Amino acid sequence: MKVSKWQHQETGWRNFPVAGRRGCPPIAHQPPAQRRLGQSPWLIFLLVVLACSWPTQQLLAELGDVEGLVAALLSETPMVDDLRQLTDEIGGRPTGSEANVESVAWAAERFREAGVKVRLQSFEMPGLWLETSASVVLEGDHLRFEAAAAAMPFSIATPEAGLRAPIVDGGRGGTADFERLGAAAKGAWVLIETVELEDLEGLFREYAEATEIETRAFAAEVAGVIYMGSRPRNVLYRHNASRGFANQHPMLVMERSVAQRTLRLLRHGKGLEATVHLDLKRGPAFTSTNVIGEIRGGELADEVVVVGAHLDSWGLGTGALDNGCNVAMLIDIARQMQRLGIVPKRTVRFALWNGEEQGFYGSWAYVREQRDNLDHHAMAASFDIGSGRISGFFTGGRPEMVTAVDTALRPVAGLGPFQQVDVPVVGTDNYDFMVEGVPNLVALQESANYGPNYHARTDTFEQVDLEQLRLNAAIAAAVLFAFADQPELKLPRQSRLQIEQLIESTTLQQEMKSFGVWEAWEQGLRGRQQ
């Protein structure tokens, strides 16, 4: 875990009155005049105190829109309680579940209570996938033991009696491993060994490797794929099967210690069979819903800035890091803008997407709906890496966006340092904006505890760094306000040719394949046509 510099200082942010601490200490009035947030983190502390004591109109008159908004977000707001309600009272929210439907109504009501205009955008999901239960029994050579398991999304179910077959050592799932197995892989459960996950880099590696592993496994005609859990302490989690809804194989994650025991037995010559039970709820296409709050702009109201976080989650935990904390953050930014009466030049849409976990379906639906208006979208940003410190942004392989984001971050430089990473990324709801040529950002966040809790049973409220979440809200607000209010920050939309050049010059094609969206791009089903 990379530790923020503020945690090392005796009088750092951990001692500041944010994130649910009630009341603000008395402090002598020090008018900020021409001073800016970027000059000193201590000035930000002062603004938090002033936000607790000044009336709204005085706050904006003295500080200006950006500083007033940042100060309001850093003071006590309903954000933490929103997150608690979403995670503790509604819980995990797989798209198509009752909890997900409840979360849509909840989010819309939060916007309405804040006085923010809200609309519900319906769209079609290609199918339903929910897990009811999953388990594994291993037997052989006078041995019998059980393992906890989690079905991988898009896995097919096993027969009611389970699917029994030999289990074989698939090593790390490389080409040499399947050549070693030869005909023994056919009709067998193949167990894939994993490295224990430590950080985001390991998470991205898992996604990339899984695509290749599953391609080899299916070519070998295995009965199904079992991954050794990569999380410590036997924590279970979900990863999407690489072929999405087209997958036709049973696939699952087995608790780490039992998978390790199984591999040791196999490697010492013990023969084992696995009986897997996967009870799944699958169904045809159905209607899901995005929740979109809107603050209409002023003289450039027809131009749009979209800031998004996904409302759905998998159901093992309560979806706090992925992505409830950022849902609560965006609702709070909208709430404070509305409360303060802040009207930027461009319209801001706060999009809470659904269907993200299955393949970014909600944001794709929005892009299709807005296709004739995408030239008027100045920027689309996604916040989807938990509550670790925002240290910059992925700027999509567009150098001019680096300059624009640097400009947008100046008012909150005291919360830095910030460093932009100018590469395109796939993995969240920026994707369809990117392949339509719309300037897009993904918040780059310190890994903190996001990786080990990703899609896991442990993704719960207590994992969220509530104080850092407030600081992230200030950073996000400064960026969205700059893109919404500064005409010069609107960059041109890229053409199909420019996007193809971006794919050729980066690792974008590999990422698109890892997340199952490459074929739709190749076939012209997703992305700009000209």
DSSP 11-34: TSGGGSS-TT--S---------TT
Q: What is the 3-state secondary structure (H, E, C) of 356-416?
A: HHHHCHHHHHHHHHCHHHHHHEEEEEECCCCCCCEEEEECCCCHHHHHHHHHHHHHHHHHC
Residue 53 clears pLDDT 90, i.e. is over it:
no
Residue 60 clears pLDDT 70, i.e. is over it:
no
Whole-number pLDDT of residue 21: 30
Q: Output the six-digit token pair for 109.
A: 């009501």
Whole-number pLDDT of residue 472: 98
Q: What are the start-end ranges of the H helices in 308-360?
A: 325-340, 356-359
Mean pLDDT of 375-393: 97
pLDDT digits (tens, 9 = 90+) for 215-268: 999 999 999 999 999 998 999 999 888 888 999 999 999 999 999 999 999 999
Q: Output the six-digit token pair for 230.
A: 């990569």
Whole-number pLDDT of residue 13: 31
Give the whole-angstrom CA distance, residue 337 versus residue 339.
6
User: Which of 145, 143, 129, 361 lies closest to 251 in space, CA to CA?
Assistant: 129
Residue 343 clears pLDDT 60, i.e. is over it:
yes
Whole-number pLDDT of residue 51: 59
Mean pLDDT of 172-189: 98
pLDDT digits (tens, 9 = 90+) for 421-431: 999 999 999 99
Sheet order of strands, 377-382 included: 117-125, 286-295, 346-353, 300-310, 377-382, 440-445, 390-394
Residue 7 clears pLDDT 70, i.e. is over it:
no
**pLDDT above 70 covers what percent of the chain?**
88
Q: Could you give the domains of the chain? A: 5-73 (no CATH), 91-127+285-386+423-496 (3.40.630.10), 130-283 (3.50.30.30)
Give the whole-angstrom CA distance, residue 485 versus residue 481.
6
Whole-number pLDDT of residue 56: 59
Whole-number pLDDT of residue 487: 96
In the structure, what pLDDT confidence band is assigned to residue 419 with cuts at 50, 70 and 90?
very high
In the structure, what pLDDT confidence band is assigned to residue 44 with cuts at 50, 70 and 90?
low
Whole-number pLDDT of residue 43: 55
Give the whole-angstrom CA distance, residue 364 versus residue 373.
14
Residue type, 120: L
Residue 525 clears pLDDT 80, i.e. is over it:
yes
Q: How far is CA 363 from CA 53, 287, 385, in A?
A: 39, 14, 17
In the structure, what pLDDT confidence band is assigned to residue 333 with cuts at 50, 70 and 90?
very high
User: Which DSSP helix (H) or strand (E) runs through 179?
Assistant: helix 175-181
Residue 100 clears pLDDT 90, i.e. is over it:
yes
